[in-house]
A and B are shown apart, each in its own frame.
Chain A
Amino acid sequence: MKIAIPMNEQSMHTDVCPSFGRAPYFLFYDSVTNEAYYLDNEAVASQGGAGIRAAQVIADRGVKALIAPRCGENAAEVLTKAEVFVYRSIPGTARQNIEAHLNNQLPLLNEFHAGFHGHEKK
């Protein structure tokens, strides 16, 4: 199964990025092959609709589970329609979150915010 996580840095041993649409990188992890790779988030520089764009990339890559602390309404709509489940991350590294997810310890994220529209606190 393919898992995606928004990241500040390209390392499994660093924390999950608090932003989804404006995260600098996405980690893609395949739980079957244990392969991981990173992509620059091309939505970072978008004037608007960053969440939609980021969700599109996640959906296009065939991801089945996104692990993130929060997610905007528009992104959630894309992910839901594309049948990507969003799980709420726990404080800690990407590696810890992947392990928690594989042990079924992460709950589904079911509250989606109306978006920060460029006013997000860093």
Chain B
Amino acid sequence: MKKSNLTIAVLSGKGGTGKTLLSVNLAAAAETAVYLDCDVEEPNGHLFFQPEITSEETVSAKIPLIDYNRCNGCRTCVDFCKFNALAFIKNKPVLFKDVCHSCGGCVLLCPQKAISEEEKNVGVIQSGMSGQVRVHTGCLNAGEASGIPIIKELLKKSAAETALPVFIDCPPGSACSVMESVKDADYCVLVAEPTVFGVHNLKMVCDLVEVFHKPHGVVLNKCLEEENPAEEFCKEQHVTILGRIPFDSKLGSISSSAKIAVKENNRYRELFSKLLHTIIEEASRETATHPQR
């Protein structure tokens, strides 16, 4: 099926810059949209949307199951494991389930074919509607090593969408879970704070989206009437500035009472609608000039 919709990933180099604020309000401004919460360690978009949950599915990951009758203690699996999930004790491998990243390498390499895989429950995806926004929330079980299996399942929901715009609320930082979250996106929106520390984090995610050749632009959040190091960085590096969100106590109090600014305040409805328009325009232009999929 041909896709005519856009998938927009919202990310930032650290937590607390405004990924959820932006992605929730963009989805709300779009009115009919899909919102994916890929910040599976601490999903919070649902607090704003308060969707009526209509389905919940468990997500599992594969972990090795060792047949000790076939194992001859060659240690190949233990030496291969880069995550230190296997120890070699009294000539037998011992698995530490919580440390395993489900790479499957030990299964492939075992010369005795003594390792198979079993499923381990790692979390759930809750889905439901909030007005005209379809909300999918990934929740990783506490203590699990990796949220990737849940993010993969969330992205399948995005891939199934052919008409509605999809907004992906990414995990913070620039590690594996962020790479997974942005890999299918048509456009990446980077949220930045107006501090030197903010610039450091912005640079990390800029580098990341460039590695993936993703068209991208920056939203400057928490803007004050003074110098903005993140803005200077964008100008120096020729990174598109998509818009600015002011550092405003009104916006803060709307968010802290778990309300969506677009629905509460005309000024913010205008601001986020304009941002959405700019992002769609930029994304459409980029995907038209650099068709990658």
A interface list, Cβ under 8 A from B = 43, 46-50, 52-53, 55-56, 59-60, 74, 77-78, 81-82
Q: Establish whether residues A59 and B96, one from each chain, have CB atoms under 8 Å apart when the complex forms.
A: no
B residues near A60, Cβ cutoff 8 Å? 88
Interface size class on chain B is: 10 to 19
On chain A, the residues within 8 Å of B94 by CB distance are 77-78, 81
In the complex, are the beta carbons of A46 and B84 less than 8 A apart? yes
In the bound complex, what is the Cα–Cα distance between A48 and B82 (angstroms)?
9
Please state if A56 and B85 are interface contacts (CB–CB under 8 Å): no
How distant is the Cα of A78 from the Cα of B99 in the complex, in angstroms?
14
Which A residues are in CB contact (< 8 Å) with B90?
Answer: 81-82
Give 11 new A-B contacts, CB below 8 A, not counting A49-B84, A56-B78, A74-B96: A48-B84, A49-B83, A50-B84, A52-B96, A55-B87, A56-B84, A59-B87, A59-B88, A74-B99, A77-B96, A81-B89
Contacting residues of chain B (82-109) with chain A, CB-CB under 8 angstroms: 83-85, 87-90, 94, 96, 99
Are B89 and A49 touching (Cβ within 8 A)? no
Query: Are B87 and A52 in contact, CB atoms less than 8 angstroms apart?
Result: yes
Q: Known interface pairs A74-B96, A74-B99. Does A53 touch B84 (Cβ–Cβ under 8 Å)?
A: yes
Residues of A contacting B78 in the complex (Cβ-Cβ under 8 angstroms):
56
User: How distant is the Cα of A13 from the Cα of B85 in the complex, in angstroms?
Assistant: 34
- Decide yes or no whether B145 CB sits under 8 A from chain A: yes
Cβ distance B284 to chain A, nearest Cβ, rounded Å: 38
A82 and B93 alpha carbons, distance in the complex (Å): 12
Closest approach, in angstroms, between the C-beta of B236 and any C-beta of chain A? Answer: 32
Report the bound CA distance from A82 to B87 in whole Å. 10
Known: A78-B94, A81-B94. A52 touches B85 (CB 8 A): yes
In angstroms, how far is the closest chain B Cβ from the Cβ of A43?
7
* B145 adjacent to A78 (CB under 8 Å): no
**CB-nearest residue of chain B to A80:** B89
Complex Cα distance, B99 from A48, in Å, reads: 7
CB distance from A12 to the nearest CB of B (A): 29
Residue of B nearest to A75 (CB): B87
Give, as a whole number of angstroms, the nearest-CB distance from A107 to chain B.
Answer: 24
CB neighbours of A50 from chain B (8 A): 84
Query: Are A78 and B85 touching (Cβ within 8 A)?
Result: no
Per the 8 Å Cβ criterion, residues 63-93 of B in contact with A are 78, 83-85, 87-90
In the bound complex, CA of A46 to CA of B99 (Å): 12
